[in-house]
Chain A
Amino acid sequence: MAQAAKFELTDDSVVVIVGTGAGGGVLANELAQKGVKVVALEAGGRYLPEDYVNDEWDSFGQLAWTDPRTTSGDWRVAKDFSGLPAWIVKAVGGTSIHWAGASLRFQDHEWKALSTYGAVDGASLLDWPIDAAEMAPWYDKAEAKLGVTGVGGRARLPGSNNYKVFEKGALALGYKDVHTGNMAINSADYDDRMACQQTGFCFQGCKWGAKWSTAYTDIPRGEATGNLEVRDHAHVARILHDDTGKVTGVEYFDKDGNLQMQKARIVAVAGNSFESPRLLLNSHSSMFPDGLANQSGQVGRNYMRHTTGSIYGTFEKPVRMWRGTTMAGIIRDEAKHDPSRGFVGGYELETLSLGLPFMAAFLDPGNWGREFTTALDSYENMAGMWIVGEDMPQADNRVTLSDTEDKFGLKVANVNFSDHPNDVAMRNHAYDRGQAIYKAVGATRTLPTPPYPSTHNLGTNRMSERPEDGVVDRNGRAHDVPNLFVSDGSQFTTGAAENPTLTIVALAIRQADHIAREMAAGNV
């Protein structure tokens, strides 16, 4: 293996990438493979499978982003977890360490939400400037990179106890598209990663490395080219620009808390849907008083988190849902757009389990007494599923700068979110269907559980055809700044019903191709 690169702070030929998760980590490796010099700045530390902890709270302490954030709006998270709007990761590899591995392509119509659904009151729906045909080859590459099961000749994972309960109930209700999913978790050895050992704790980092994460795939492979330097514990404070409006580098606090400045030919922001808009807003200047790339006023707007929620069912006999892969089970029949159900868009139902400590924290936050504890008493006999549905983009669901400052004196993100009536109608429909699924298998009790702190954080720097409608163009390039890119889920125009990581990866591979070509042509 070649020595990982080391670039000078004054080297203005490098691409600086902020964040190393599914977006930034993939972009970094893909560019490095093409011979582009990359400095990736990661706010968190570096942990590998041997470091991951299969204990929910200990792992949370190790990996989660717990720097301050503030919340507002009528979502219940703002009351129950006011400083923790999201459960995402601060580490090299980002939330690709924590994700469950569900790897679904958007349905074709979901690229054209406005055209398909029509205008929805109170929603700022828009069509993506790209479509399914354009994305198909990039999805092919993403699926091959991640080793997604159920496509490319790769077998699906075997079904766990939790899946078997879910499947039997689904089939009893007449659902047809029911299986163990398209998972970036190996059913057999693939690409130097071993097969899943059904250990559980997928959310805490896969200790076998059976689940794809940039932490132990793209990052070390990019470093092996000699073109990628990853600096961990590097907290980016602001992006700098010259008086022509092109970005010139970034200022960041290094692991010792010292402010450094890394020059750059291109900057790509991939800090997730809270930190990416926060960074752009904190990068305001006399030329860009409302924040970088924000002449449209769209930076931070249209925050989406998927219409989530969970359904747990308790049964007469044990299920032991924690055994095995956490999310290898899906019902796709409700993912279609069928407005006769009383809402636009659709939702997936996916198996899910939490360990006892997190079940106690998230089953019904704030509740107490026997209604709550008798549910936990049946923990061993519990099965669980999660709702993932398309939520409506709304202009006022947004990330803004809070009055609160972090330890560096930087204003933190405030996350304002309220459900759209379409979100509520969809969630209630899903609660009904999920409860019916478990009742069909003899559930003695069903528990429609509120959304957890967000794991799918989307929008806030959305992609748009017209500069006035969004922040970035069809390649993720800022409408206002020619050498500034957004490379994470914040560029999503709409959320679709699918878990977003596969699409983030496909967009990052595609963006790397675009950036490398533009650099070679001298256009950027």
Chain B
Amino acid sequence: MSQLRKQGLTRRALLSRAVAAGALAVAGPGFIAAPDAAWAVEVTAVSEHQMATLLQMARDIYPHDRVGDRFYAVAVKSYDSPEQKDVVAEGIAMLDEAAKQAGFDSYLSAGWEDDRVAILRSIEDTPFFQTVRGGLVTGLYNQKDIWPIFGYEGESFSQGGYIDRGFDDIDWL
């Protein structure tokens, strides 16, 4: 996972870059996996460690290898708020404690997904985990920019539906 750094970007700038990157991601294979992808999350209320942990947690809960980190970042960025900061601090502390009991320095220091998933399983009945997971269902999958990665085309009314655009074009049966 790429390092998260404070880069002084405003949320608006982040979002505009995320949207632009989303367009590029659809156009060019390989871009999503680029190790130096130019995006960042600005954190103000929660710590860098907490946001980095939330981001990794989001990816481990709903891992899609073709979906770039920036989409997960959009899905969890709302936790960076004064209202959420205590919930996040307690939740991440609990997660890191669970990681320590599993023999790791922290959740993020567990290098293999299987190890991190085992740590998550140990806290999956907690309100914190369920809040993060539940929020991702819409926070991640309702981002229109990720739909093309799954092949989903969204609305078709504006193009007259599929009656002349392949509703019955299956050719492999």
> A interface vs B, CB < 8 Å?
54-55, 57, 158-161, 164-165, 168, 196-201, 207-208, 316-320, 322-324, 355-357, 360-361, 366, 368-370, 372-373, 376-377, 379-380, 441
Check B173 against A323 for contact (C-beta < 8 Å).
Answer: no
Known: A198-B162, A369-B117. A322 touches B168 (CB 8 A): no
Closest 10 CB pairs of A and B: A380-B151, A199-B161, A197-B161, A324-B167, A54-B155, A360-B141, A198-B167, A356-B152, A161-B170, A198-B163
Instruction: Tell me, rounded to whole Å, the shortest Cβ–Cβ distance linking B28 to chain A.
Output: 19
CA–CA, A207 and B170, complex, Å: 25
The interface on chain B, measured as residues whose beta carbon lies within 8 A of the other chain's beta carbons, has a size of: 35
The answer to whether B64 and A373 touch across the interface, beta carbons within 8 angstroms, is yes
12 contacts between A and B (CB under 8 A): A55-B154, A160-B167, A161-B169, A165-B173, A198-B163, A323-B165, A323-B166, A355-B154, A356-B141, A356-B152, A369-B61, A379-B150
- Is chain B's interface secondary structure helix, strand, loop, or mixed overall? loop
A197–B165 Cα gap in the complex (Å)?
10
Asked if B63 and A373 make an inter-chain contact with CB atoms under 8 angstroms apart, the answer reads yes
Nearest B residue to A52 via CB reads B157
Contact among A355, A356, A368 with B133 in the assembled complex (CB-CB below 8 Å):
A368
Considering the complex, give the chain B residue whose CB is closest to the CB of A163. B168
B171 to chain A, nearest CB (A): 8
Chain B residues with CB under 8 A of A207: 157
A318 — which chain B residues lie within 8 A by C-beta?
Answer: 151, 170
Q: How far is the CB of B83 from chain A (nearest CB, A)?
A: 22
Closest to B132 in A: A368
- For residue A322, which residues in chain B have a CB less than 8 angstroms away from its CB? 152-153
**Cross-chain contact A356 with B117 (CB below 8 angstroms):** no
State whether A199 touches B162 (Cβ < 8 A): yes
The number of inter-chain residue pairs (CB within 8 angstroms) is 110
**Which residues of the other chain, B, contact A376 by a CB distance below 8 angstroms?**
64, 141, 150
Contacts of A357 in B (CB 8 A): 138, 141-142
State which residues 30-61 of B face A: CB under 8 Å: 60-61
The reply to whether A323 and B167 form a contact with Cβ atoms under 8 Å apart is yes
B170 contact set on A, CB distance < 8 A:
161, 164-165, 318-320
Q: B55 to nearest A CB, angstroms?
A: 16
Q: In the bound complex, what is the Cα–Cα distance between A57 and B166 (angstroms)?
A: 25
* Nearest CB in chain A: distance from B170 CB, A: 4
Instruction: Tell me the bound Cα distance from A279 to B105 in angstroms.
Output: 58
Contact of A197 among B150, B151, B160, B169 (CB under 8 A): B160
Q: Shortest CB–CB separation between residue B167 and chain A, in angstroms?
A: 4
Residues of A within 8 A of B169 (CB): 161
With A160-B167, A161-B169, A380-B152 already in contact, the answer to whether A198 and B63 are too (CB < 8 A) is no
Which B residues lie within 8 Å of A319 (CB)?
A: 170
Identify the B interface with A (CB < 8 A). Answer: 60-64, 66, 117, 124, 133, 137-138, 140-142, 147, 150-157, 160-163, 165-170, 172-173
Q: How far is the CA of A165 from the CA of B147 in the complex (A)?
A: 23
Nearest A residue to B60 by beta-carbon distance? A369
Contact B141 A201 (CB under 8 A): no
| B165 contact set on A, CB distance < 8 A | 323
Chain A residue at minimal CB-CB distance from B143: A357
Residue of A355, A357, A373 with most chain B CB atoms under a 10 A cut-off: A357
Nearest chain A CB to B116 CB, angstrom units: 11
Residues of A within 8 A of B173 (CB): 164-165, 168, 441
A356-B155 in contact given A160-B168, A198-B161 (Cβ < 8 Å): no
Given A320-B166, A373-B62, verify A55-B161 contact (CB < 8 Å): no
* Structural contact, A200 and B162, CB atoms closer than 8 A: yes
Residue in chain A with minimal CB distance to B124 = A368
Task: Using CB atoms, name the residue of chain B closest to A383.
Answer: B170
Q: Is the CB of B161 within 8 A of A368?
A: no
Are B156 and A323 neighbours in the complex by a CB distance under 8 Å?
Answer: yes
Assess whether B150 is in contact with A199, with CB atoms less than 8 Å apart.
no
Q: Which residues of A contact B142 (CB under 8 A)?
A: 57, 357
Residue of A nearest to B59 (CB): A373
- Assembled-state Cα–Cα distance A355/B150 (Å): 11
Chain B neighbourhood of A55, CB < 8 A = 154-155
Chain A residues near B64: list those with CB within 8 A. 373, 376-377
Q: How far is the CA of A198 from the CA of B167 in the complex (A)?
A: 7
Inter-chain contact B150/A377, CB cutoff 8 Å: yes
